Amino acid sequence: MTAAGPGTVYLVGAGPGDPELLTLKAAHLLATADVVLHDDLVPAAVLAHAAHALVINVGKRCGRKNISQEQIHAMMIEEARHGLAVIRLKSGDPLVFGRAGEEMDALRAAGIPFEVVPGITAAFAAAAALGRPLTDRRGASSVSFSAGHHAPGSQLEPASLAGATRVIYMPGRDLLPVAEQLRAEGLPGELPCVIVSRAAQPDQQIVRTTLAQLERIASLPAPSILLAGEVLREADDNQLTGIAESVTVSPTNQPQPVQAE
C-alpha cells in the first residue's frame, strides 16, 4: 500500500468522477494525506476517500476564481514545508489540460519533492460510455486532443490529421466556434459528432449529431467533452437529420433515450 509521505506534494488524477475509476494508488494516497487541495469538478464520492485530511476547494470554474493559481502554489509549498503530505487533486488526469505544468515549475523552484499520479481522463470515459473506440485500424489511426478554452492570447492550431478522431475538452456552451474550426479543416458536414456531459457519473448525458448540426445543440451540464470522427458512426447515422439523440444513464446503467432540447 502506497502511503503519502511527509513534506511531499502529489499531483493526483481523480478520474472522470466515478469513484470506482480511481486508481488504487490514488485511493491509498487520499486515505493517508494530511491536506487535499481539489478542483471544483471532483465529486464528494471521491473526496470521501480523504477521511482524515483537511480538504480545501481551490477550484476555478467557468471563469470564476475562488483562489488564484499563485495562491494554490503558495499553499502547496507552505503545507509541504510544514512536513505535511499534500495532495493536489485534479479531475481526470493531472497532465491533460490542467495547470500541472505551472504547479510542477513552482514546486521545483521551491525545492519541494512531488510525484504525479495519473488518472483516467474524460476522453477515455466518454469513449467507454459510447461503446466506441477512439482509434480503429480500419479508419482512424490517430487521435487528436485539444481544448476549447485557452490561455489569453493563445491560439489553437488546426489538428490537420487526416482520419484522426478529434477529442475537444471544454468545448464551451456555444459550439459554433468549434464547428467552424472543424469545418475549416475540411471535415464533412455528415461527420458524426458526440457530446458527452459528465462522463462516467450518474447523471451522464450523451448527445449524438453531425458536424453540420453541431452548433444547434443546446449546452449540456459541465464538464462536457466533444468527440468527432468516423469511428463514432453507427449503422443508423445516415438517418440523422440534425435532431440529436440524448441518452441519460440511469442508476441501473441502462440507457434511456430522451429527446434533446
For each of the chain's 261 residues, which pLDDT tens digit applies?
788 989 999 999 999 999 999 999 999 999 999 999 999 999 999 999 999 999 999 987 655 567 899 999 999 999 999 999 999 999 999 999 989 999 999 999 999 999 999 999 999 999 999 999 999 988 888 999 998 755 555 454 555 556 789 999 999 999 999 999 999 989 999 999 999 999 999 999 999 999 999 999 988 998 999 999 999 987 555 444 333 344 433 333 333 333 333
What per-residue confidence (pLDDT) applies to 228? Answer: 96
Residues 47 and 111 reside in one and the same domain: yes
Which residue reads 466515478 in cell numbers?
A: 18
**CA-to-CA distance for 220 and 197, rounded, in angstroms?**
6
Per the CB < 8 A criterion, the answer to whether 100 and 69 are in contact is no
Task: Record the pTM.
Answer: 0.82
Residues 225 and 142 in one domain: yes
Q: Active-site positions?
A: 39, 60, 170
| 130 shares a domain with 86 | no
Residue-level pLDDT at 137: 86
- Of 72, 88, 117, the position where a domain reaches its end is 117
Indicate the SS3 state at residue 48.
coil
Q: Which domain holds residue 30?
A: 9-117
Is there a single domain that holds both residue 67 and residue 82?
Answer: yes
Amino acid 234: pLDDT: 77
- In this structure, the answer to whether residues 109 and 126 fall within a common structural domain is no
pLDDT for 175 equals 94
> Can you read off the three cell numbers belonging to residue 116?
504525479
Boundary (domain end) residue, out of 99, 117, 135: 117
Q: Do 176 and 51 fall into the same domain?
A: no
Q: Is 130 helix (H, G, I), strand (E, B) or coil?
A: helix
